[in-house]
Amino acid sequence: MEDVLLSLQEICKAFGETEALAGVSLDVREGEFLTLLGPSGCGKTTTLRIIAGLESPDSGRVLLRGEDMTGWEPNRRPVNTVFQSYALFPHMNVAKNIGYGLRLKKTPKEEIRRRVDEMLGLVQLPGFGGRMPNQLSGGQRQRVAIARAIVNDPAVLLLDEPLGALDLQLRRQMQTELKSLQKDLGITFIYITHDQEEALNMSDRIGIMNEGRILQLGKPDEIYERPQTRFAAEFIGQSNIFTAEVAGREPNGTLTLLYAGGVVKACGEGTPGERVTLSVRTERIRFGEECRYGFALTGIVRAHSYTGGMLRTTLGLSDGQELIVSGMGGGGDRAEVGETVHIYWKPACAAIVERGDQHEARA
Amino acid sequence: MKRARKGRGFPAAGVPFLLWTAFFVAIPLIYILCMSFMKRAATWGVVAEFSLGSYAKMLSPAYLRVFGESLWLSVLTTGFTLLLGYPFAYFTAQLSPKRRSLALLLVIVPFWTNSLVRIYGWMILLRSQGVVNALLIALGVIDTPLKLLYNFGAVLVGMVYALLPFMILSVYNSISKLDPSLTEAARDLGAGKWRAFWSVTVPMTRAGIMAGCVLVFIPSVGLFFISDLLGGAKTMLLGNLIKNELLTARNWPMGAALSVVMMAATLLVIGLYQKLSGEKSLEGIV
């Protein structure tokens, strides 16, 4: 692959009986913003700590520009971490905190002062050098933590849920700032979060993690539109997940499937007669009978739930199953409860997240 | 407004405390202070006559030597308890919760036995036919028993032994509160293990170090039974001196004056602690 900077190869790690990582492999490209997204306990923080050298893997290798750095002490690795708790040194002022790494490298005093000032400007905290960490707000501490890491010019910057402790508005603002900082400096970021919006918004690529594995790695829109696993479909966005039986394949490659007494269409792999699990995003379902994609399902409106920007409509299908459709609720042309409606979706919006054979293998 | 006025008044609930303080702290202290400025009676007790005699007497070389020796022993005791206690507390804090409580229990268990008895235990270990000498002879390291008891070293060993738990517990208290991500951050930013320890762990646990030093130093100035038992007649410390003046020589003004000086020295140490640690209350050492 082109420009691989950091490479994880089959990393396994267990803490006592608990398996934290079960074979994680990952190639990180030079200059990219890569996010590991997953629920707490999925192994994303352990992955980060192994890259930083704060944890050593039971097996597997960590390569940086092709060089094996698995056994290196954390202080020898050209990576720096922004910790979840910021971990600013409480007994040092902001300038001392930021200059810590430079002082260890025996950088001349003048140079340190210049670089620290430059960093303070970069994170928009000019003149804050003399403050102590406990005199700063959460957002300011966050900026200092970032400055303290990037002042060392790391090959990779590791960020462990850096915005987790901030309120929503500040988080949005910091997302934008971080992203532009990353672009301007051209530093490779490995970013950890359990917040899907954050991941989709900031990343060049996202790795979905669960139970110590990377389930899917791809661009945000790939991850969102074409989830490959049921977990990815459920964890990001809101999906209707249901099983259907493959009926056949059309000449253009689209699958036709039997579902709820009707026919639906999807893109993906499947053999006739096989039962597969489909995921359709709630906002990708459209109302109408038009036959652009050659199929439509009939349902009865059971309930509406209004969530501000979006209106979520629960439909009851003929065989008793339910589907959720979300759309702009403001138009006023919404179907009343009890009304019969028709729905359809673009076949490419229905992803097969589980196949029959996988079903059996699990059971 | 009402609230502020209320706060300034003395609450009724504080009266018992005030009485307690008056009877058990203030009055005895004033009594001692007054007595130190009086003269010794020919037979028993004191004569109510102002005198600086006791304080003047303290400037004689014999007394100054006791002061010096006491101070030196206290400094050494504090130093050694820190040297032994800090690593112990540091490694205890890294243990699993189960082992950690076991280690702390081992520190506390000796308190369940009378300290006098424990010091007698040291006499059994250190005397000429004692365990240590017997062991060294059996191993062929020495031929004749070493004189391990009744000297400055024995007193130092006893003091360090008796006061070590105070150091361990106060240092442990602040090490266990240390956020491990701070040392990790230091390592991550390029510090080796030692560098991270000296630049982050030690400064971050300074409060515990200071508290431990105060908790060890202050009692070590006044402890007398350890030097009585392990030091023989040769090692005279401030605590012994006060005891002798009051009980043996029956020179109460002298004993009182020595107590006043010791108290002043103690206050000086606490003041120094407050200044150095930046701590305004003494909560850190309790």
Same domain, A158 and A293: no
Cβ <8 Å between A104 and B188: no
The predicted pLDDT at position B105 comes to: 92
The pLDDT of residue B5 is above 80: no
| Nearest Cα residue in chain B from A75 | B190
Closest CA relative to residue B47, chosen from B248, B246, B251: B251
Return the SS3 of B37. Answer: coil
Cβ <8 Å between B179 and A104: no
* The Cα angle at residue A273 between residues A271 and A276, in degrees rounded to 5: 70
- At A204-230, the pLDDT tens digits run 999 999 999 999 999 999 999 999 999
Side-chain-side CA neighbours of A323 within 13 Å: the count stands at: 28
DSSP category for residue B112: G
* pTM of the predicted protein model: 0.81
The pLDDT of residue B286 is above 80: no
The predicted pLDDT at position A363 comes to: 35
Same domain, A88 and A205: yes
The predicted pLDDT at position B3 comes to: 45
Same domain, A206 and A96: yes
**Chain B residues with beta carbon closer than 8 angstroms to that of A85:** 179, 181
Residue whose entry in the numeric block shows the structure tokens 């490209």 = A29
**B169, B174, B179, B184 alpha-carbon torsion, rounded to 10°:** -80
Q: Which of B181, B190, B200 sits opposite A83 (nearest CB)?
A: B181
Q: Which of B179, B181, B195 sits opposite A104 (nearest CB)?
A: B195
The predicted pLDDT at position B1 comes to: 40
Closest CA relative to residue B190, chosen from A99, A288, A130, A344: A99
Q: Which of B188, B195, B203 sits opposite A81 (nearest CB)?
A: B188
Cβ <8 Å between B184 and A75: no
The predicted pLDDT at position A292 comes to: 80
Closest CA relative to residue A127, chosen from A142, A137, A117: A117
The predicted pLDDT at position B233 comes to: 67
pLDDT band for B46, please (50, 70, 90 cuts).
Answer: confident
Q: Does A87 touch chain B (CB under 8 A)?
A: yes
Q: What CATH number has the domain bearing residue A350?
A: 2.40.50.140
Cβ <8 Å between A75 and B203: no
**Chain B residues with beta carbon closer than 8 angstroms to that of A84:** 181
The predicted pLDDT at position A2 comes to: 60
Cβ <8 Å between A104 and B191: yes
Q: Encode chain A (363 residues) as per-residue pLDDT tens digits.
A: 468 999 999 999 999 889 999 999 999 999 999 999 999 989 999 999 999 999 999 999 999 999 999 999 999 999 999 999 999 999 999 999 999 999 999 999 999 999 999 999 999 999 999 999 999 998 899 999 999 999 999 999 999 999 988 888 889 999 999 999 999 999 999 999 999 999 999 999 999 999 999 999 999 999 999 999 999 999 998 899 998 999 888 888 888 898 888 889 998 888 888 899 999 999 998 888 777 888 888 889 998 888 777 888 999 988 888 899 988 765 556 778 888 888 889 998 899 998 875 544 443
Side-chain-side CA neighbours of B171 within 13 Å: the count stands at: 28
Task: Strand A33-37: give its sheet, edge to edge.
Answer: A79-82, A156-160, A188-193, A33-37, A205-210, A213-218
Q: Which of A80, A85, A90 sits opposite B188 (nearest CB)?
A: A80
Cβ <8 Å between B186 and A85: no
Per CATH, domain B56-285 is 1.10.3720.10 = yes
C-beta neighbour count of B166 within 10 angstroms? 23
Percentage of the residues of chain B whose pLDDT score is greater than 90: 34
Instruction: Report the complex ipTM.
Output: 0.83
Cβ <8 Å between A80 and B184: no
Q: Which of B177, B189, B276 to mutate to test the interface with A (most CBs of A within 10 A)?
A: B189
Same domain, A277 and A216: no
Long-range Cβ contacts of A40-45 (<8 Å, 24+ apart) = A40/A194, A42/A209, A42/A210, A42/A211, A42/A212, A43/A13, A43/A209, A43/A211, A43/A212, A43/A213, A44/A192, A44/A209, A45/A84, A45/A160, A45/A161, A45/A192
- Smallest CA–CA distance, residue B161 to chain A, in Å, is 33
Residue type, B212: G
**Residue at a domain's end among A231, A247, A262:** A231
Say if residues B260 and B272 touch (Cβ distance below 8 Å). Answer: no
Distance CA B127, CA B135 (A): 12
Same domain, A196 and A244: no
Same domain, A34 and A144: yes
Structurally, how many domains does chain A consist of? 2
| Nearest Cα residue in chain A from B180 | A87
- At B114-124, the pLDDT tens digits run 888 888 888 88
**Residue at a domain's end among A206, A231, A256:** A231
Q: What is the largest CA-CA distance in chain B?
A: 82
Mean pLDDT of B68-82: 92
Same domain, A214 and A276: no
Average pLDDT of every residue of chain B: 86
The predicted pLDDT at position B9 comes to: 61
| Nearest Cα residue in chain A from B200 | A89
Residue ranges of the domains in chain B?
56-285
Q: What CATH number has the domain bearing residue A190?
A: 3.40.50.300
Same domain, A139 and A57: yes
Cβ <8 Å between A52 and B204: no
**Residue at a domain's end among A177, A202, A231:** A231
Q: Does A106 touch chain B (CB under 8 A)?
A: no
Most confident range (mean pLDDT) of B39-43, B49-53, B192-196 is B192-196
Distance CA B155, CA B227 (A): 5
Same domain, A21 and A147: yes
Residue type, A157: L
* Full domain range(s) for residue A144: 4-231
Cβ <8 Å between B182 and A91: no
Q: Which of B186, B190, B195 sits opposite A152 (nearest CB)?
A: B190
Same domain, A64 and A82: yes
Q: Does A75 touch chain B (CB under 8 A)?
A: yes
Cβ <8 Å between A73 and B190: no
The predicted pLDDT at position A251 comes to: 85
* Enclosing H/E stretch for A60: strand A59-64
The pLDDT of residue B166 is above 90: yes
Q: Which of A72, A77, A93, A100 to mutate to test the interface with B (most CBs of B within 10 A)?
A: A100
Residue type, B277: S
Lowest mean pLDDT among A47-56, A172-181, B205-214, B266-275: B266-275
| Nearest Cα residue in chain A from B205 | A91
Distance CA A320, CA A302 (A): 11
Mean pLDDT of B71-83: 94
- Smallest CA–CA distance, residue A269 to chain B, in Å, is 46
Same domain, A174 and A261: no
Same domain, A187 and A328: no
Cβ <8 Å between A87 and B195: no
Closest CA relative to residue B240, chosen from B118, B73, B82: B73
Say if residues B204 and A90 touch (Cβ distance below 8 Å). Answer: yes
